[in-house]
Amino acid sequence: MFTTVTWQDYLASECREELLLQAVQRFKASHGFLHALEADSYFRGENTRVARKTILRARKTETRDAQGRRRIRAATEDVVGNRIGSGFLFRFVTQQNQFLLSEGVTLPEHVKSSLGADFDHQLEHLGEKALLHGCAWGYWNADHLEVIEMAKNPTSGFFPLLDEMTGEMRLGVQFWQIAPERPQYLRVFADEGVTVYRKEGKALVPVTACQPYRRSVRRDVMGESVTVQPGYGRLPLIPLRANAEGRSEFTPAIRAKIDAYDAILSDFADNLDRANDVYWVLNNFGGTLDEVAELLEQISRVKAVANISDGTCSGSTAEPRTIEVPYAARRAALEMLERALYQDYMALDMSALTGSSLTNVAIRVSAANLNLKADRFEWQVRQFIMGVTSLLGCPCTDIRFKRQTIANESETVADIAAMRGDIDRETALRLNPYISDEAADALLASPDRKEVDEKRP
């Protein structure tokens, strides 16, 4: 968490607007902001370290001296090679977040209705950003949840000013620019409301006056919005952390293994490019390297090595050859790194679910680590939801999640059939993965089916 500038510094400052501008610059240079941007890059499959990789390649330069004679020199230069990024972080974060939140959250009806129709989708988005950055904030804006990211791009983000005594957020600062040459804007969240500023030179100019928070909004018959119960008594910004430490799931261990994987894959592609062509070995050529260069100019894109003499008196010969690129060690290293990545992140490797591992017991064992990882994240999501419901005046602890499950459905149906004599029809319908809850309700409400059930012994 950003602690370079605190709430106490803000209170003690003679020019608070100037302090906010300094705080923005310090935050943009902080480890947390830069790490969040890197996590986003890896999430998009852009490995920032592999993106700087170059390879050394020989090149030929040709000049002419004062007498007009051609001079050919060999030199080397750094050129851009293959820069292959992997999608491991996208796969891991998406799997963990969707496993827990893709089905939404189940709350009491009166509580869920007060959160709005888009709450589940916004919570899913917020969870993804929290896992990547370590923490993201949900801003309850009148009647809906707004996701605020720690880092959106190099010129946009958000940071809190914390109380040095309690560690609680007392002020929130969101900053953004649509382009580096465009003005910078700040949205400052204080206890009394929200104020938007525009940076002009070294000063902040208010764009809008302080707007008090709106507790809820309703529409009248004419479609006009009516504010009800303004204010919350505290900041309507609730943090969602990735874990108890508030650290990104893009850990140094995960990054090091992704970097190694991408570097090996990129180097292998470079070697394939270099060995793609046939090269020629010229025996008993007897010529100079300049003459070899002339020969190469006549034969387009052919590599050549000239042996002046092979120790025999036979005539000159030319042998085409190719380079065999070793791949066994690289393949073993890539497989080892991939297994280590899945183990470190506690993710489920879907490619491992084949053959005999497709039984329900084997699937549950394979998904055990993912369930444990989701358990840890679930506590953070619960705290976030309790914070939102408490802010709205309807505190709730009855919070349930329906996790995505993987199962051998044919085996499940066979199990239901085997225990059909011990369970009633409603239970059998509810357990059947091929029958939705709505279809089960319709079947149970059907009068024809009721008569059949009554006639059963």
The residue-averaged pLDDT of 294-323 equals 56
Same domain, 370 and 297: no
Same domain, 367 and 427: yes
For residue 101, give Cα distances in angstroms to 105, 378, 380. 7, 9, 12
Report the C-alpha gap between 345 and 89 in whole angstroms: 9
317 located within any domain: yes
Same domain, 366 and 448: yes
For residue 335, give Cα distances in angstroms to 260, 360, 434. 12, 26, 36
Report the C-alpha gap between 145 and 112 in whole angstroms: 13
260 located within any domain: no
Which range, 131-140, 212-221, 290-299, is most confident? 131-140
Cβ atoms 388, 116 nearer than 8 A? no
443: confidence class by pLDDT, cuts 50, 70, 90: confident
329 located within any domain: no
398 located within any domain: yes
Q: Which residue has the higher pLDDT, 246 or 202?
A: 246
300 pLDDT above the threshold of 60: no
The pLDDT mean for the chain works out to 82
Report the C-alpha gap between 65 and 67 in whole angstroms: 5
Same domain, 316 and 366: no
What confidence score (pLDDT) does residue 299 get?
53
pTM for the full predicted model: 0.78
At 320, list the tokens: 């085409």
Q: How many domains does the chain have?
A: 2
**Among 64-68, 222-226, 372-376, 444-448, which stretch is predicted with the lowest mean pLDDT?**
222-226
80 pLDDT above the threshold of 70: no
Which range, 12-26, 213-227, 299-313, is most confident? 12-26
383: confidence class by pLDDT, cuts 50, 70, 90: very high
Same domain, 390 and 443: yes
**Among 85-99, 159-173, 237-251, 308-322, which stretch is predicted with the lowest mean pLDDT?**
308-322
Q: Which residue has the higher pLDDT, 76 or 330?
A: 330
3-state secondary structure the chain: CCCCCCHHHHHHCCCHHHHHHHHHHHHHCCHHHHHHHHHHHHHCCCCCCHHHCEEEEEEEEEEECCCCCEEEEEEEEEEECCCCCCCHHHHHHHHHHHHHHCCCEECCHHHHHHCCCCHHHHHHHHHHHHHHHCEEEEEEECCEEEEECCEEECCEEEEEEECCCCCCEEEEEEEECCCCCCCCEEEEEECCEEEEEEEECCEEEEEEEEECCCCEEEECCCCCEEEECCCCCCCCEEEEECCCCCCCCCCHHHHHHHHHHHHHHHHHHHHHHHCCCCEEEEECCCCCHHHHHHHHHHCCCCEEEECCCCCCCCCCEEEEECCCCCCHHHHHHHHHHHHHHHHHHCCCCHHHCCHHHHCHHHHHHHCHHHHHHHHHHHHHHHHHHHHHHHHCCCCCCCCEECCCCCCCHHHHHHHHHHCHHHCCHHHHHHHCCCCCHHHHHHHHHCHHHHHHHHHCC
Pairing mode of beta strands 105-106, 400-401: antiparallel
Which range, 105-114, 154-163, 385-394, is most confident? 154-163
Q: Which residue has the higher pLDDT, 314 or 249?
A: 249
402 pLDDT above the threshold of 90: no
Burial 22-44 (b: 16+ CB within 10 A, else e): ebbeebbebebbebbbbbbbbbe
3-state secondary structure 327-342: CHHHHHHHHHHHHHHH
The residue-averaged pLDDT of 368-374 equals 90
Which range, 5-14, 266-275, 308-317, 448-457, is most confident? 5-14
The residue-averaged pLDDT of 213-221 equals 66
At 16, list the tokens: 């608070």
90 pLDDT above the threshold of 60: yes
The separation between CA 263 and the C-alpha centre of its own chain, rounded to angstroms, equals 20
144 located within any domain: no
Token pair 């709106």 is found at 214
Last residue of a domain, one of 296, 322, 348: 322
62 located within any domain: no
45 pLDDT above the threshold of 50: yes
Token pair 């909004």 is found at 217
436 located within any domain: yes
Domain that includes residue 296, residue range: 276-322
428 located within any domain: yes
What confidence score (pLDDT) does residue 320 get?
62
